[in-house]
Amino acid sequence: MKLVTAIIKPFKLDDVREALSEVGVQGITVTEVKGFGRQKGHTELYRGAEYVVDFLPKIKLEIAIDDDKVDGVIDAVTGAAATGKIGDGKIFVSSLEQVIRIRTGETGVEAV
């Protein structure tokens, strides 16, 4: 199992959710976050030379999936979240050791 963590532009959330439901994702956790990437969120020069480091609002999606769905999820997020401009976001894929469905006690892939 894998945990896919995607950071996207907030206005892309609906598009990404739709794309994900088409590739068989069973659940998504969404969090409003702030962050910066390589441009450090700056939009202008400050006092001549120094860049102001600023955190920009982003949306974090967490999706637990079986290994065979990872490529589909990455394609769905990439396709729906891309604008081609800086700050489009990033996708992190980690190994997921265990999942437990609280109501039924199911574990592993059955619980996803």
Ligand X SMILES: Nc1ncnc2c1ncn2[C@@H]1O[C@H](COP(=O)(O)OP(=O)(O)OP(=O)(O)O)[C@@H](O)[C@H]1O
Residues that bind ligand X (CB under 6 A): 7, 35-39, 56, 58, 86-90
Please state, in angstroms and rounded to a whole number, the distance separating the CA atoms of residues 75 and 57.
23
- Binding string, 16-45, against Mg ion, x = CB under 5 A? ---------------------xxx------
Please state, in angstroms and rounded to a whole number, the distance separating the CA atoms of residues 66 and 11.
27
In the complex, residue closest to ligand X by CB: 35
How far CA 97 is from CA of 9, 29, 58, 100, 112, in Å, comes to 29, 18, 27, 10, 12
Least distance CB 7 / ligand X (angstroms) = 4
Please state, in angstroms and rounded to a whole number, the distance separating the CA atoms of residues 43 and 26.
38
Which token pair is 55? 């955190």
| Residue nearer to ligand X on the CB measure, 34 or 101 | 34
| Residue nearer to Mg ion on the CB measure, 56 or 93 | 56
Sites for Mg ion among residues 46-85 (CB under 5 A) = none
| Residue nearer to ligand X on the CB measure, 38 or 103 | 38
What's the DSSP call for residue 100?
B
Residues that bind Mg ion (CB under 5 A): 37-39, 86-87
